[in-house]
Amino acid sequence: MRRALLIAMALVLALVGWSSVCAEDGYYVIPTMRGKYAPVPKTGQTTSHGTRDDGDLQKGVPSPAPRFTDNANGTVTDNLTGLVWMKDAGALGTKSWGDALSAANNLKSGDPGTGLTDGSKAGDWRLPNLRELQSLIDYGRYAPALPTLFPFAYVQYSSYWSSTTYANYAPWAWNVSFIEGQVSYAEKSTVYYVWCVRGGK
């Protein structure tokens, strides 16, 4: 009976452009490419400030429910993107861009102060690119600019480094503020927070 229900659910989801993911602790869906296009998620803004603005139209792919799954091993899965994030967003503190890359690349399960018990090895984790980091932002919220019911701990009301270098000037890189969701760039010698991710395509 359960198998038939899951198959039926997968078929319905496929018709609307979603794919299904079966996990040990539940059944989740994530948006996937339909035809040749990648889906664009909703921004999270629900209040309208002008005719046909974002809050009025709310275009984009809605987030799955639940949006996040706490894996109880120091990691959180984003069921919208499939990315796996460190639960403790403040564990690695602030670093320059180069040190942030190095810390992310060497992060592993059992490292002191990280809470990671996921069995990960050095090289499994990385510094997120700009799009990945920005995918966490909910533009309908402020301080932090994250969706409701997020299971992350110690999210800093500050900026986090991305692994993406500013194309016009290589000594700078992009960062995202989790106060209001602002995207900016700064010299790589600047110290910002580090939030690591793994998975993705």
pLDDT tens digits along 50-68 = 999 999 999 988 989 999 9
| φ and ψ of 3, to 5 deg | -60, -45
Q: Is residue 53 assigned to a domain? A: no
pLDDT, residue 37, reads 78
The DSSP letter of residue 162 is E
Q: Is residue 121 assigned to a domain? A: yes
pLDDT, residue 16, reads 47
Q: What is the mean pLDDT of residues 82-87?
A: 97
pLDDT, residue 3, reads 54
Domain that holds residue 152: 65-198
Residues 6+ apart with CB under 8 A from 164: 129, 130, 173, 174
Q: For the chain, what is the largest distance between any 2 Cα atoms, rounded to a whole number of angstroms?
A: 58
Number of domains comprising the chain: 1
Q: Is residue 47 assigned to a domain? A: no
Reported pTM: 0.81
Rounded Cα–Cα distance for residues 99 and 191 (Å): 9
152 Cα distance to chain centroid: 11
Q: Is residue 77 assigned to a domain? A: yes
Beta bridge partners of 34: 37
The DSSP letter of residue 35 is T
pLDDT, residue 36, reads 75
* One-letter identity of residue 23: A
Q: Is residue 15 assigned to a domain? A: no
Cβ–Cβ under 8 Å, residues 100 and 161:
yes
Q: Say whether pLDDT at 86 is over 70.
A: yes
3-state SS class at 28: strand
Rounded Cα–Cα distance for residues 8 and 17 (Å): 15
Summarize pLDDT for 20-34 with one digit per residue, the tens: 555 444 555 555 555
Q: Kind of pairing, strands 26-31 and 18-23?
A: antiparallel
Q: Is residue 3 assigned to a domain? A: no
Q: Is residue 107 assigned to a domain? A: yes
Summarize pLDDT for 130-167 with one digit per residue, the tens: 999 999 999 999 999 999 999 999 999 999 999 999 99
